Chains A and B, each alone.
Chain A
Amino acid sequence: MSLGYFLKRLLMLVPLILVISFIAFCLVRVAPGGPFDKERAPASPDIERNLKAKYHLDDPLWKQYLRFIGIGFEGGLIRGDFGPSLKYRNHSVNDIITQGLPVSLVLGFVSFGFSLGVGIPLGIWTALRRGGWQDHLGSFISILAVCIPAFVLGPILIVLLGIKWPIFPVGLWGGPWHIILPAITLGTYFAGKVARLTREGMSQAMQQDFITTARAKGVSEKSIVFRHALREGILPVVTYSGPLLADLMVGSFVVENLFQIPGIGVFLVNSSINRDYTMVVGLVILYSVLLLILNLFVDVVYGFLDKRVKYG
């Protein structure tokens, strides 16, 4: 992948993010109800008017959007400022993100590692034993993993390994011991998916002519599998990594909720129910940016693995 193409893709992100921010901004504003409807004590009209004035919710919409973007106003999206949260009054959206995001990222990457570490070996194993009982067993395990979502596996693991045999802590976020159950819960589904993709890719790669050539040249079986076939057989997994990371983030809503992990995933659902406008828009943009960048990264990796691919 040429540097020019990479920079072009990077530049494309800017208008894309503006469009996304506009859509998200319009969506939350179309909704009936406001951020101050669900206060514990209903505010008097005066107080509500003052609150609205403080957060500039009484301005016309286009002015609010410009303020949010930061054109002609202090702060704003272009300076990396998502504004104040309307529900957690003394915090800005940036505060909440800087607190929660590292936790979510750690959880996400450990689960990602788990799903690749389990899925790829399982996929290779079943592909090499194609048609044998190992293949059937492995394929059954991977299809079973795909059919057990995090919100099913999580409670079962909590009941078995947290309550019945208290080996692991069932909640909160402390040492590395706390990561294990959530990471397994989140990663199992993707491990199944990765295993299925690896099996498909590997069994196709093993039938290619260059494998026959390598065999004829007397290359050892181990080297054939890991140095020749794997390079091509892994490509479906690389292609899938983009959507995988997206689903991983979404899955983290459930897992963070189940294990009471102070990540960022919990906030999206709550804020959009509470009409915390700035928070919802901020999180939607955050997730989109993360994913777009990760996808770009996946494309770079793909280009390195498969030299036949030409971008641009």
Chain B
Amino acid sequence: MAEVVSSNNIQKSQLGESLNRRAWLRFRANLPAMLASVFLISLIMISLCWPFVSSLGDQHSDAQFNPPSDQYWFGTDVHGRDLFGRVLAGTRISLLVGLVGALVSLVIGVLWGATAGLLGGRWDNWMMRTVDVLYSLPSIIFVIVIITTLEGVIQGWVESVFAGDGSDAARHVLLYAGLGAVSWLTMSRIVRGQVLALREQQFVEAARSLGLGTWTILWRHILPNVFGVVIVYLTLTLPAIVLYESFLSYLGLGIQPPQASLGSLIAEGAAQINPVRVYWWMIFFPAIGLAALLMALNFVGDGLRDVFDPKSTNER
């Protein structure tokens, strides 16, 4: 018996490895996706390390509105801060919000979709109707209302539990929760579809006949199998959340100064537009930063989808 199990394991691991390896080979052949991943990784490394190299991005100085030069590569802003450092700091925050928001949406979406798919019948119908209704609602409007209304509540709570100023923490928590809470719909639909297909498979039936509960089956047998597709849609959710975050920050509802996000930097630049003088670098560089970040995330997401999503492989 033990021999059978172990030989089974060997076979399985070999199969899994070769599949992953094939996926990697296909991803590597996709030039835009590879370039985008290299760009993303270096951007993350640089933006994480930059605070140790230079602190000009945080220091106010007399060098207001300096155009790009040898000292200030991207010029300076209204307080004489180095825009290069500010853009990197903004990238850091935007990515952080995108990542945490995407993880929140991942948890909600996977749980909701997997539960609906596994329970089936009336529950499935009811849960997916809810998703349909939520799809047709202006969700970001609710996020705006929630952020403006609940900010004080969360801030008070943070300040009473942890001493000190809670306004930054409150904004971050609301952004993570709010953006995650409106971005899980597609994820739940996709996970449900996968689970519906998987639960008819024999290994699930075998698990059920062994007397395992619904949750154990979900956790141990179904979720590991939807992992690939989930990762793909997680990568595609990331740019959407980064975009929403920068949109909210642009409106003044997201990240607050002195912290910077790419959206709030663009807003600062747009505020300086007038017919007399245009400080073009203040809008140009944050805009390029945001566009490059979003493009890289999209290319990586598309590349991963080409590799993992069976539906799009038919096209090739």
Q: Which A residues contact B (CB, under 8 angstroms)?
A: 16, 20, 24, 27-28, 30-33, 143-144, 146-149, 151-152, 154-156, 158-159, 163-164, 203-204, 207, 242-243, 246-247, 249-250, 253-254, 257-258, 268-269, 272-273, 280, 283-284, 287-288, 291-292, 295
Given known A27-B146, A149-B243, A242-B136, contact A33–B152 (CB-CB < 8 A): yes
Complex contacts, B247 vs chain A, CB 8 Å: 149, 151, 250, 254
Question: 11 other contacts beyond A152-B287, A284-B145, A291-B137, with CB at 8 A cut-off?
Answer: A28-B149, A30-B149, A31-B149, A32-B153, A146-B294, A147-B239, A152-B266, A152-B283, A152-B291, A156-B287, A250-B140
State A144–B290 Cα separation when bound (angstroms). Answer: 11
Contact between A151 and B298, CB atoms less than 8 A apart? no
State A31–B315 Cα separation when bound (angstroms). Answer: 51
Q: Is B251 an interface residue (CB 8 A)?
A: yes
Complex contacts, A247 vs chain B, CB 8 Å: 140
Q: Is B250 an interface residue (CB 8 A)?
A: yes
Shortest Cβ distance from A257 into B: residue: B251
Shortest Cβ distance from B239 into A: residue: A147
Contact between A144 and B280, CB atoms less than 8 A apart? no
Shortest Cβ distance from A23 into B: residue: B142
Contact between B251 and A253, CB atoms less than 8 A apart? yes
Which of the residues A30, A33, A152 comes within 8 Å of B290, measured between beta carbons?
Answer: A152
Complex contacts, B156 vs chain A, CB 8 Å: 32
Contact between B283 and A249, CB atoms less than 8 A apart? no
A-B contact pairs, 26 of them (CB 8 A): A16-B133, A20-B137, A30-B149, A31-B152, A32-B156, A143-B298, A147-B294, A147-B298, A149-B246, A151-B266, A152-B283, A152-B287, A155-B287, A163-B275, A243-B135, A249-B138, A250-B138, A250-B247, A254-B250, A254-B251, A269-B144, A273-B148, A284-B138, A284-B145, A287-B138, A287-B141
State A24–B139 Cα separation when bound (angstroms). Answer: 12
Contact between B148 and A31, CB atoms less than 8 A apart? yes
Q: Is B253 an interface residue (CB 8 A)?
A: yes
Contact between B243 and A159, CB atoms less than 8 A apart? no
User: With contacts defined as CB atoms under 8 Å apart, how many contacts are there between chain A and chain B in the complex?
Assistant: 122
Q: How many residues of B contact A (CB 8 A)?
A: 44
State A295–B149 Cα separation when bound (angstroms). Answer: 28
Contact between A280 and B145, CB atoms less than 8 A apart? yes
Q: Name, among B149, B267, B298, the residue most crowded by chain A CB atoms within 10 Å (CB to CB).
A: B149
State A163–B253 Cα separation when bound (angstroms). Answer: 28
Shortest Cβ distance from A294 into B: residue: B136
Contact between A155 and B266, CB atoms less than 8 A apart? yes
Which of the residues A24, A30, A144, A273 comes within 8 Å of B153, measured between beta carbons?
Answer: A30
Which of the residues A147, A159, A249, A288 comes within 8 Å of B291, measured between beta carbons?
Answer: A147
Q: Is B98 an interface residue (CB 8 A)?
A: no
Complex contacts, A147 vs chain B, CB 8 Å: 239, 290-291, 294-295, 298
The smallest beta-carbon distance between A39 and chain B, in angstroms, is 18
Q: Which of B89-145 contact A (CB under 8 A)?
A: 133, 135-142, 144-145
Complex contacts, A164 vs chain B, CB 8 Å: 278
Shortest Cβ distance from B262 into A: residue: A152
Given known A16-B133, A155-B270, contact A31–B251 (CB-CB < 8 A): no
The smallest beta-carbon distance between A132 and chain B, in angstroms, is 15
Given known A159-B283, A242-B136, contact A151–B269 (CB-CB < 8 A): no
Shortest Cβ distance from A253 into B: residue: B251
Shortest Cβ distance from A148 into B: residue: B291
Complex contacts, A148 vs chain B, CB 8 Å: 287, 291
Shortest Cβ distance from A153 into B: residue: B287
Which of the residues A27, A155, A163, A242 comes within 8 Å of B149, measured between beta carbons?
Answer: A27
Q: Is B299 an interface residue (CB 8 A)?
A: yes
The smallest beta-carbon distance between A261 and chain B, in angstroms, is 15
Complex contacts, B263 vs chain A, CB 8 Å: 151
Q: Is B35 an interface residue (CB 8 A)?
A: no
Complex contacts, B291 vs chain A, CB 8 Å: 144, 147-148, 152
Shortest Cβ distance from A147 into B: residue: B294
Shortest Cβ distance from B298 into A: residue: A143
Shortest Cβ distance from B263 into A: residue: A151
Which of the residues B137, B150, B267 comes within 8 Å of A30, measured between beta carbons?
Answer: B150
The smallest beta-carbon distance between A172 and chain B, in angstroms, is 14
Complex contacts, B269 vs chain A, CB 8 Å: 155
Q: Name, among B140, B273, B280, the residue most crowded by chain A CB atoms within 10 Å (CB to CB).
A: B273
- Chain B window 62-88, contacts with chain A (Cβ cutoff 8 Å), 1 for yes, 0 for no: 000000000000000000000000000
Given known A27-B146, A143-B298, A254-B250, contact A151–B153 (CB-CB < 8 A): no
State A191–B252 Cα separation when bound (angstroms). Answer: 27
Complex contacts, B137 vs chain A, CB 8 Å: 20, 246, 288, 291-292
Shortest Cβ distance from B296 into A: residue: A147
Contact between A284 and B141, CB atoms less than 8 A apart? yes
The smallest beta-carbon distance between A136 and chain B, in angstroms, is 9
Complex contacts, A27 vs chain B, CB 8 Å: 145-146, 149-150
Contact between A159 and B138, CB atoms less than 8 A apart? no
Shortest Cβ distance from B315 into A: residue: A203
Contact between B138 and A151, CB atoms less than 8 A apart? no
Complex contacts, B153 vs chain A, CB 8 Å: 30-32
Complex contacts, B266 vs chain A, CB 8 Å: 151-152, 155
Contact between B278 and A163, CB atoms less than 8 A apart? yes
The smallest beta-carbon distance between B125 and chain A, in angstroms, is 14
Q: Which of B130-185 contact A (CB under 8 A)?
A: 133, 135-142, 144-146, 148-150, 152-153, 156
Contact between B280 and A159, CB atoms less than 8 A apart? yes
Which of the residues A146, A246, A268 comes within 8 Å of B144, measured between beta carbons?
Answer: A268
Which of the residues A144, A152, A155, A257 comes within 8 Å of B295, measured between beta carbons?
Answer: A144
